[in-house]
């Protein structure tokens, strides 16, 4: 049985004092629930070391929200795998829709020229994946379709293409230990949730793509999370599905009570 993994992506939220308060509250509310389930939080870079120190010995791990594919050099504003490890990270999120410039909520002032700032592509996601693995980090590889792509009937082809591109030159052994996150772009930060049955089906598309590349045994080992407006009231339904092995949680991870409730919804913790 694949172990459930719940990750909280704080995005661009929480200065250090806020991060400390959130972590202290989270430690109380998740006590006893972090052995059966893999739990991690992904704070902004400025709070990584603080959060890692506060969570030491709790069972809750820390992840970075992104990384660059070089270890060091003249790359102003970038952060490397060794830097993340040094800050206390065990995990890293790669290919999230926002660094790709794909947003669920329209940003009126984000013109095409401005969107070019968010430059992640399938090629850079693959480079980042290789860098994360080389650096000893556990990657969470995000894939997801926009509303326009879904309405055009292209959901499965988009997911399969993104998954395949991310896995270029990745070995079967590496693929078996990866974590994928299916995040429909139209459900991120919008309050819209992909119906649990459909979320499970598309997570199955990720798994079947891995199976086509590496075989069914590898696909059965890889974990696939769902992300997109995951909340306490839909977590049990989502996490009970056969192809959904966890959740990548955005806004709800900023509230210790909500995040703890999502963790408690894991099948391993259901009575």
- Residues designated catalytic: 96, 183
- Nearest CA-CA partner of 141 in 88, 105, 180: 180
Residue 141 DSSP SS3? strand
Interatomic CA distance for residues 79 and 63, integer angstroms: 13
Residue whose token pair is 């995000």: 142
The Cα 138–Cα 45 span in angstroms is: 17
**Contact between residue 241 and residue 199 where contact means Cβ atoms under 8 Å apart:** yes
Please report the beta strands in 19-115, taking only residues with DSSP state E, as ranges in sequence order.
Answer: 38-42, 60-64, 91-94
**CA dist., res. 81 & res. 92, Å (int):** 9
In which element (H, E) is residue 257 found? helix 256-264
Beta bridge partner(s), residue 205: none
Range list of β-strands (E), the chain: 5-9, 38-42, 60-64, 91-94, 138-143, 179-182, 223-226, 246-249
The H or E element containing residue 246 is strand 246-249
Answer yes or no: are the C-beta atoms of 144 and 183 closer than 8 Å: yes
């Amino acid at each position: 049985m694949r172990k459930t993994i719940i990750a909280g992506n704080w995005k661009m939220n929480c200065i250090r004092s806020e991060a400390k308060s959130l972590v202290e509250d989270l430690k109380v509310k998740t006590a006893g629930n972090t052995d059966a389930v893999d739990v991690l939080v992904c704070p902004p870079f400025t709070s990584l070391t603080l959060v890692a120190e506060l969570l030491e010995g709790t069972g809750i791990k820390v992840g970075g929200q992104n990384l660059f594919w070089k270890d060091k050099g003249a790359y102003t504003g970038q952060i490397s795998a060794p830097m993340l490890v040094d800050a206390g990270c065990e995990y890293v999120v790669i290919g999230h829709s926002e660094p790709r410039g794909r947003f669920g909520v329209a940003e009126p002032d984000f013109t095409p020229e401005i969107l070019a700032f968010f430059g992640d592509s399938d090629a850079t996601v693959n480079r980042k994946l290789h860098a994360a693995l080389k650096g000893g980090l556990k990657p969470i590889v995000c894939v997801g379709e926009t509303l326009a792509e879904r309405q055009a009937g292209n959901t499965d082809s988009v997911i399969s293409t993104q998954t395949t591109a991310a896995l270029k030159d990745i070995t079967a052994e590496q693929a078996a230990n990866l974590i994928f996150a299916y995040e429909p772009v139209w459900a991120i930060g919008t309050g819209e949730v992909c119906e649990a049955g459909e979320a499970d089906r598309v997570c199955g598309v990720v798994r079947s793509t891995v199976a086509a590349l590496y075989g069914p045994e590898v696909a059965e080992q890889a974990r696939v999370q769902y992300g997109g407006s995951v909340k306490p009231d839909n977590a049990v339904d989502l996490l009970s599905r056969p192809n959904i092995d966890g959740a990548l949680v955005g806004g709800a991870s900023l509230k210790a009570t909500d995040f703890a409730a999502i963790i408690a919804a894991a099948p391993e913790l259901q009575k």
